[in-house]
């Protein structure tokens, strides 16, 4: 597939706004610093991305369990994890225009005014600080989590005990994370509030290498199984100087963004760094006792860590397509069925009152099974186009023949094939088509 271009990015951002996927936050007040709200279609698409991840990482496995840890936690978590000391970006100030930049992003020149009069880089901690309770003082400081991962490490013993799992096993979690990014941008690629989908997979230390390779393959396959063209993806091992403070080896799943290759997901070998750090700091044993062999060890951790919001954007960029149907140009989001916000749109051929009760009956039959849209305005061709543009895989048309034969027409977004199906067989027919 052709690499996404800057023009495509602009088109997709406009589509997101125009059709209700993503809105700039606080728009009536002029927006708020690269923060975004997910509209009626965006909330569905984002949820479907997270559900597809959960299905693959938790539901279809018997060696992974889920967790939903709090966003706020004891500050001791972030002290022990190393985030208070190490989760920093190098910042420089421009002495001429007073703008602040990430030193590793700009070289020796201010991108705003061109001045070379920059301060020395200083470490800036990216965690958002807040105060818990009514007193704003040191003792009440807390941090919004910058990754979901630590919630899984500090619950390691709880999960081990209650789930009766043994290594190799994993804990999976999706949820919001917060980073005071200095240079957010490129739409939802880098924002200060975003969603992550992370797995911490605990393994016997001597199996870490094998599991690292396993998860690199598995995660790359997840994207292609959901329709992402393989030539827009690659796996890139980090150079030693790029590694996070906790990692001995990381490979990124990269996507070909309009501005070049960039991270979609990181797969890291975190060794026993986190469990050991929390064990030392809390005084609690975070280890596994293997009764069969009588040995005790601290598991090593392989962590595939993806961004849900960033992944949603990548799927949109990859799905956007245009073609010509009946001599008219059409925009179509070729989203995988599992990701499409609406699975089915019910469209009465005309707004005539005689069709409405039957169309509403069909809608009522489908709603318990699929996320449906219902649209009776405008000409049918226009309504097909509107559904194509938001990626709806199937349109179900109720026409005047339906009143006689109790059958409807299913139209396929991609093949444009239309088939007549009895209303009584409609749910099963759509279930079959959506299962592929």
Residues of this chain that bind ligand GAP (CB under 6 A): 147, 149, 179, 181, 190-191, 194, 196, 198, 263-266, 303, 305-307, 309-310
- Could you give the CA distance from residue 380 to residue 395 in angstroms, rounded to a whole number? 10
- Rounded to a whole number of angstroms, the minimum distance from the CB of residue 302 to ligand GAP is 12
Cβ proximity to ligand GAP, 152 vs 372, nearer residue: 152
Cβ proximity to ligand GAP, 48 vs 196, nearer residue: 196
- Could you give the CA distance from residue 76 to residue 283 in angstroms, rounded to a whole number? 12
Cβ proximity to ligand GAP, 148 vs 279, nearer residue: 148
- Rounded to a whole number of angstroms, the minimum distance from the CB of residue 355 to ligand GAP is 45
- C-alpha dihedral sign at 307, 308, 310, 311: positive
Question: What is the SS3 assignment for 301?
Answer: strand
Cβ proximity to ligand GAP, 152 vs 345, nearer residue: 152
- For helices 40-54 and 308-319, angle between their N-to-C axes, nearest 10 degrees: 110
- Rounded to a whole number of angstroms, the minimum distance from the CB of residue 185 to ligand GAP is 10
- Rounded to a whole number of angstroms, the minimum distance from the CB of residue 200 to ligand GAP is 8
- Rounded to a whole number of angstroms, the minimum distance from the CB of residue 415 to ligand GAP is 33
Cβ proximity to ligand GAP, 270 vs 337, nearer residue: 270
- Separate counts of helices (H) and strands (E) for the chain: 14, 23
- Rounded to a whole number of angstroms, the minimum distance from the CB of residue 120 to ligand GAP is 25
- Rounded to a whole number of angstroms, the minimum distance from the CB of residue 201 to ligand GAP is 12
Cβ proximity to ligand GAP, 253 vs 372, nearer residue: 253
**Can you say whether residue 373 is alpha, beta or left, with left for phi > 0 and alpha for psi between -120 and 50 degrees?**
beta
- Could you give the CA distance from residue 185 to residue 35 in angstroms, rounded to a whole number? 9
Cβ proximity to ligand GAP, 165 vs 310, nearer residue: 310
Question: What is the SS3 assignment for 248?
Answer: coil
> Taking a C-beta distance cutoff of 8 angstroms, is the pair 298, 287 a contact?
yes
Question: What is the SS3 assignment for 89?
Answer: strand
- Rounded to a whole number of angstroms, the minimum distance from the CB of residue 314 to ligand GAP is 9
> Residue 61 contacts by C-beta under 8 Å, 6 or more apart in sequence?
170
Cβ proximity to ligand GAP, 19 vs 270, nearer residue: 270
Q: What are phi and psi of 12, to 5 degrees?
A: -70, -40
Preceding amide of 410 cis, omega within 30: no
Cβ proximity to ligand GAP, 239 vs 417, nearer residue: 239
- Rounded to a whole number of angstroms, the minimum distance from the CB of residue 196 to ligand GAP is 5
3-state secondary structure 21-67: CEEECCHHHCCCCCCEEECHHHHHHHHHHHHHHHHHHHHCCCCEEEC
Q: Measuring CA to CA, which residue among 282, 243, 298, 235 is closest to residue 261? A: 235
Residue nearest to ligand GAP (CB): 307
């Amino acid at each position: 597939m052709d690499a996404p271009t800057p023009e495509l990015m602009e088109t997709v951002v406009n589509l997101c706004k125009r059709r209700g996927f993503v809105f700039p936050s606080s728009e009536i007040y002029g927006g708020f610093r690269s923060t975004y709200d997910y509209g009626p279609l965006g909330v569905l698409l984002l949820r479907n991305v997270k559900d597809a991840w959960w299905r693959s990482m938790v539901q279809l496995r018997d060696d992974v369990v889920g967790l939903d840890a709090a966003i706020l936690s004891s500050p001791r978590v972030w002290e022990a994890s190393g985030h208070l000391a190490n989760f920093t970006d190098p910042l420089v100030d421009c002495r001429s225009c007073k703008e602040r930049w990430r030193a590793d992003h700009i070289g020796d020149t201010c991108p705003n005014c061109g001045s070379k009069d920059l301060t020395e880089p200083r470490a800036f901690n990216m965690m958002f600080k807040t105060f818990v309770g009514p007193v704003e003082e040191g003792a009440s400081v807390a941090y919004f989590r910058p990754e979901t991962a630590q919630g899984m490490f500090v619950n390691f013993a709880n999960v081990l005990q209650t789930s009766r799992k043994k290594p190799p096993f994993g804990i999976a979690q999706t949820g919001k994370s917060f980073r005071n990014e200095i240079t957010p941008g490129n739409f939802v690629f880098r924002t200060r509030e975003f969603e992550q989908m992370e797995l911490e997979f605990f393994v016997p230390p001597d199996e870490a290498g094998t599991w690292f390779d396993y998860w690199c393959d598995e995660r790359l396959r997840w994207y292609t199984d959901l329709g992402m063209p393989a030539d827009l993806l690659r796996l890139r091992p980090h150079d030693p100087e790029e590694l996070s403070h906790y990692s001995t080896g990381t490979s990124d799943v990269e996507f070909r963004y309009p501005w070049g290759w960039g991270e979609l997901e990181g797969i890291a070998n975190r060794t026993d760094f986190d469990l050991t750090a929390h064990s030392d700091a809390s005084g609690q044993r975070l280890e596994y006792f293997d009764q069969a062999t009588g040995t005790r060890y601290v598991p090593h951790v392989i962590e595939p860590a993806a961004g849900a919001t960033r992944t949603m954007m990548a799927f949109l960029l990859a799905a956007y397509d245009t073609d010509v149907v009946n001599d008219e140009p059409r925009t179509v989001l070729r989203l995988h069925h599992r990701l499409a916000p609406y699975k089915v749109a019910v469209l009465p051929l005309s707004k005539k009152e005689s069709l409405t009760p039957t169309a509403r009956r069909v809608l009522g039959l489908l709603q318990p099974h699929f996320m449906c849209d219902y649209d009776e305005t405008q000409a049918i061709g226009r309504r097909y186009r509107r559904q194509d543009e938001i990626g709806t895989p199937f349109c179900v048309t109720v026409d005047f023949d339906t009143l006689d034969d109790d059958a409807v027409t299913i139209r396929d977004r991609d093949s444009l094939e239309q088939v007549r199906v009895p209303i009584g067989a409609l749910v099963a027919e759509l279930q079959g088509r959506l299962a592929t």
